[in-house]
Homo-oligomer: A and B are copies of this chain.
Amino acid sequence: MSATTSNTRRVLRGGIDLGGTKIEAIVVDSRNNVLGAARHPTPTTGGPADVAAAMAGAIKEAAVAAGVETSALRGVGVGSPGAIDAAAGTVSEARNLPDWEGTFALAPALAEALGTKVLLGNDVQVATDAESELGVGRGRHSLLGVFWGTGVGGGIVFEGKPYVGQGGAGEIGHMVVESGGRRCGCGNRGCMEAYAGRASIEARARKEIKKGRKSKLIKIMKHKERDRFTSAVWFEAVEQGDNLAVELIDGAVAALGAGIASAVNLLDVEAVVIGGGLGVRFGEKYVRKIEKAMKPHLFPGHQPPVVSLVELGDLGGAIGAALLARPPRRASAATAAR
């Protein structure tokens, strides 16, 4: 690849997006061009050390594709779910990952395996930052990222800076859309994620199927050689007009409409960008459906936000993670990247 001359190789960076379903790893150059990529399934058994090993395997594969050793990378950024302590390099309470209720020193473990420094960020916030800087959010003053996947995560950017609250802001999936409603994976009731998250609708679908409801979901899953209802399984089932899948995806869209509109009423953002496994797979047509579902809930006194599909697609999370490994920049940019 012409971009990987000995001169540019020294500024290559790695990015890993650690999702509940899959691990995306990439190697990028200083202009954020993707030179190599690899995707591995997230382990569903074992523990944090097994997940770290799968992550190391994925980024090594991406590095091979980019023609570089991981130890030659300037650094590797990681976008992770759970509670991140960036300074300590730890991830706690990543409840969509196997046996990860406690705290695990992910950055040191990966740094050891890869021979370069590793920087952690919140998965959804780094994906939002990537869209804000390189994707549909370019030139936008305020942006809400909504990542519709295994769960539903949110990221907020205001005046070019992530809004992080105490460090864990963006739990849009746990905004209440039905007081006392459906039980969520977090233990609460009526959260948007209980109606829209992939894990929640899969659990619901399996229960219905067990009770005898007909659905093509299992058959499509087996045909795709998967052990869960991935975004591709849901998409295929809806394409085939499977009643149960259509009903649950329509319910997800309605919940996303109410929840995103609620967040917009509070935040008055200029733009909303929708990504995540389901968001990307269902694409533009469903972004328009979500926008339509938001309409009846938007505060009439506001200028409604522009609603777009992520521009960086499935790799946005990994590209955002790789941004974490950039060298420090001039003061104003450093402030913006805090």
Known: A82-B301, A168-B268. 19 other contacts (CB 8 A): A95-B301, A142-B166, A158-B163, A165-B269, A166-B269, A166-B270, A167-B268, A168-B301, A170-B266, A170-B268, A171-B302, A175-B266, A176-B177, A176-B261, A178-B178, A179-B254, A187-B300, A188-B300, A266-B266
A5 adjacent to chain B (CB < 8 Å):
no
A252 CB to closest chain B CB, in angstroms? 13
Docked Cα-Cα span, A190 to B190, in Å, equals 14
Q: Which 9 A-B pairs have the closest CB atoms?
A: A165-B268, A175-B262, A169-B268, A171-B265, A174-B299, A174-B265, A168-B268, A176-B258, A171-B299
Q: Which residues of A pack against B, CB within 8 Å?
A: 82-83, 93, 95, 141-142, 154, 156, 158, 163-172, 174-179, 186-190, 254-255, 258-259, 261-263, 265-270, 296-303
Nearest Cβ on chain B to A191's Cβ, whole angstroms: 8
Q: Which residues of B contact A156 (CB under 8 A)?
A: 266
The minimal Cβ–Cβ distance linking A75 to chain B, given in whole angstroms, is: 26
Question: Do residues B299 and A186 form an inter-chain contact, with CB atoms below 8 A?
Answer: yes
Cβ of B266 and Cβ of A169 under 8 Å apart? Answer: yes
Tell me the complex Cα distance, A187–B169, Å.
29
Contact between B142 and A301, CB atoms less than 8 A apart:
no
Question: Given A175-B262, A176-B261, A177-B176, does the pair A189, B267 have CB atoms closer than 8 Å?
Answer: no
Q: For residue A186, which residues in chain B have a CB less than 8 angstroms away from its CB?
A: 299-301
Report the bound CA distance from A114 to B186 in whole Å.
55
Identify 17 residue pairs between A and B in the complex whose beta-carbon atoms are under 8 Å apart, listed by A's number: A156-B266, A158-B158, A166-B270, A168-B301, A170-B268, A171-B265, A171-B268, A176-B258, A176-B262, A178-B179, A179-B254, A186-B301, A187-B300, A188-B296, A188-B297, A190-B258, A263-B266
Roughly how many angstroms separate A262 CA and B95 CA in the complex, as a whole number?
20
What residues of chain B lie closer than 8 Å to A165, measured between beta carbons? Answer: 142, 158, 267-270
How distant is A124 from chain B, measured CB to nearest CB, in Å? Answer: 12
| A263, A265, A301: most-surrounded residue (chain B CB, <10 A) | A265
Residue of B nearest to A81 (CB): B301
Give the residue name and chain of the B residue nearest to A259 (CB).
B176
> How near does chain B come to A97, taking the closest CB pair, in angstroms?
13
- Of chain B, the residue at the smallest CB distance from A164 is B268
Return the chain B residue nearest A82 by Cβ: B301
From A156, A158, A262, residue with most partner B Cβ within 10 Å: A262
| A186 vs B176: C-alpha distance when bound (angstroms) | 20
What chain B residues lie within 8 Å of A254 (beta carbons)? 179
Is there an interface contact between A175 and B178, defined as CB atoms closer than 8 Å?
no
A73 to B174, CA, bound (A): 48
How close is A13's CB to chain B, nearest CB, in angstroms? 28
Q: How far, in angstroms, from A220 to B170 measured CA to CA in the complex?
A: 44
**Contact flag A163-B166 (CB < 8 Å), given A262-B262, A300-B186:** no
* Complex contacts, A93 vs chain B, CB 8 Å: 301
Write out the residue numbers on chain B whose beta carbons fall within 8 Å of the beta carbon of A142. Answer: 165-166
A166 and B302 contact, Cβ closer than 8 Å, known pairs A172-B266, A175-B265:
yes
